[in-house]
Chain A
Amino acid sequence: MYAQMVDTGARVAPGELDEQEQRFQARIDEGIRVEPQDWMPERYRKTLIRQISQHAHSEIVGQLPEGNWITRAPSLKRKSILLAKVQDEAGHGLYLYSAAETLGVSRDQLVDELHSGKAKYSSIFNYPTLTWADVGTIGWLVDGAAIMNQVPLCRCSYGPYSRAMIRVCKEEAFHMRQGYDLLISLCKGTPEQKQMAQDALNRWWWPSLMMFGPPDAESVHSQQSQAWKIKLFTNDELRQKFVDQTVPQAEYLGLTIPDPKLQWNAERGHHDFGEIDWDEFYNVVKGNGPCNRERLATRKKAWDDGEWFREALVAHADKRAAQ
């Protein structure tokens, strides 16, 4: 649940930085965290707002595919776990919105940008959750991919973002494990249940690999983000790490990863894997995935339906303050 293709603004060569910016970069190189009141280049501030808010939006929209299954969870135990997980996602969104606000942007502005379609959220949440096995697969793959990206971000250069990431990572470990635990149950169940898990893996595998963003060669903003230490590893590095980690986990479940080209490469010490359909990825990012419109419409409806309640809370607070 995180940011993809964050625009870093116009590129400035290291030799062209003014003196203040050189000092800023030197502090980052030394590993000194940037705090809200410190001077920072406008490009750094804007890039971080884009990255953190996209990350926050992903957490909020990420509640929807799983929330879809709360009323249909197969047992009270699974229902309680899923409720707790979805509540965590809301919490993660709030930690991140708070971090973004320290950069001088208002919560309303951020929410408006999500609802108007100006701000993005992770492509992965535009896929539907068709069966109960999808809930497990999201925890295993989607939260697994998110952890891979977020653990390094605990060391990123912006203090409030790194502190938010530390909290998020602690809770994501629960998300991944509950998903894997759910899949263990299905894979040890009836042949139909195991088939349901295989079907979910077939649908979620490639979109999960796309979560890491475009290949490094096409990732125009990576270099600047890495210099600023708001991105610690490249998209391809993290994607490879994810594949290597996930293959034995799939083997344990007795599930087959839907990629005929997937195989261990002893020379590289990594798994080779097949070509990702980047046309599909860009199409989803552009708003044409299976659920893009539905997700935004659901978000907006929740916001609009809650307006009377938000207003009532303010009216109550004002009345109290006047007494």
Chain B
Amino acid sequence: MNSTWPLWEIFIRSQHGLAHRHVGSLHAPDAAMAINNARDVYTRRNEGVSIWVMKSADITASSPDDKAALFDPANNKVYRHPTFFPMPEDVKGL
């Protein structure tokens, strides 16, 4: 039974110059097999030039309950966006 096979999170870089992106997860007995399996499951149509695998158990995630504490402080800081500042229309290059 594969209950002893850990779950791996799979990250694929679609092109050179782009970041690896999370695409899904799969079970595999070790990292090498995880890469082999990821190749078959997630890159059958030239989706990638590089694969990262990482044990799901090694990921620490923020809790949905902490959403307010973590993300609310960014909500009331609109001045962090350039659109906050009205610029004179006749001045160029801003």
Residues of A within 8 A of B29 (CB): 310, 313-314, 316-317
Residues of B within 8 A of A35 (CB): 64
Task: Determine if B5 and A314 form an interchain contact, defined as CB atoms under 8 angstroms apart.
Answer: yes
Q: Interface size (B, Cβ < 8 Å)?
A: 20
Question: Given the known A-B contacts A95-B24, A98-B25, A320-B30, are A107 and B2 also in contact in the complex, defined by CB atoms under 8 Å?
Answer: yes
Q: How far is the CB of B79 from chain A (nearest CB, A)?
A: 27
**Bound-state Cα–Cα, A107 to B37, Å:** 16
Within 8 A of B (CB), among A278-323: 310, 313-314, 316-317, 320-321
Cβ of A66 within 8 Å of any chain B Cβ, yes or no, is no
Q: How far is the CB of A130 from chain B (nearest CB, A)?
A: 29
Residues of A within 8 A of B61 (CB): 37
Question: Given the known A-B contacts A35-B64, A98-B24, A314-B29, are A91 and B3 also in contact in the complex, defined by CB atoms under 8 Å?
Answer: no
Task: Determine if A313 and B44 form an interchain contact, defined as CB atoms under 8 angstroms apart.
Answer: no
Task: Determine if B44 and A95 form an interchain contact, defined as CB atoms under 8 angstroms apart.
Answer: no
Tell me if B's interface is mostly helix, strand, loop or mixed. Answer: mixed
Cβ of A42 within 8 Å of any chain B Cβ, yes or no, is no
Residues of B within 8 A of A321 (CB): 30
Question: Given the known A-B contacts A313-B29, A316-B30, A317-B29, are A91 and B4 also in contact in the complex, defined by CB atoms under 8 Å?
Answer: no
Residues of B within 8 A of A313 (CB): 5, 29-30, 33
Q: Which of B1, B2, B44 contacts A91 (CB 8 A)?
A: B44
Closest residue on chain A to residue B61 by CB atoms: A37
Q: Which of B5, B26, B30, B63 contacts A94 (CB 8 A)?
A: B26
Question: Given the known A-B contacts A38-B64, A98-B24, are A108 and B3 also in contact in the complex, defined by CB atoms under 8 Å?
Answer: yes
Report which residue of B7, B25, B40 has the largest number of chain A beta carbons within 10 angstroms of its beta carbon.
B25
| Cβ contacts B27-69/A at 8 Å (1 or 0 each) | 1011001000000110011000000000000000101100000
Question: Given the known A-B contacts A91-B40, A316-B29, A316-B30, are A106 and B3 also in contact in the complex, defined by CB atoms under 8 Å?
Answer: yes
**Bound-state Cα–Cα, A35 to B18, Å:** 26
Task: Determine if B41 and A108 form an interchain contact, defined as CB atoms under 8 angstroms apart.
Answer: no
**Bound-state Cα–Cα, A164 to B26, Å:** 13
Cβ of A101 within 8 Å of any chain B Cβ, yes or no, is yes
Closest residue on chain B to residue A174 by CB atoms: B45
B: residues with CB less than 8 A from A are 1-5, 7, 24-27, 29-30, 33, 40-41, 44-45, 61, 63-64
